[in-house]
Amino acid sequence: MGNEEAATGMWGAGLDPLNPQTRYSYAFLDLFQFIIEDQLYVDRLKRHYQMFKDALRREAGARAVRFRKPKRPPRR
Greater pLDDT, 58 or 70: 58
Contact 15, 25 (CB under 8 A): yes
Is this structure's pTM higher than 0.75?
no
- Domain spans of the chain, in order of start: 13-66
pLDDT digits (tens, 9 = 90+) for 44-58: 999 999 999 999 998
| Integer Cα distance of 49 and 55 in angstroms | 10
Contact 15, 29 (CB under 8 A): yes
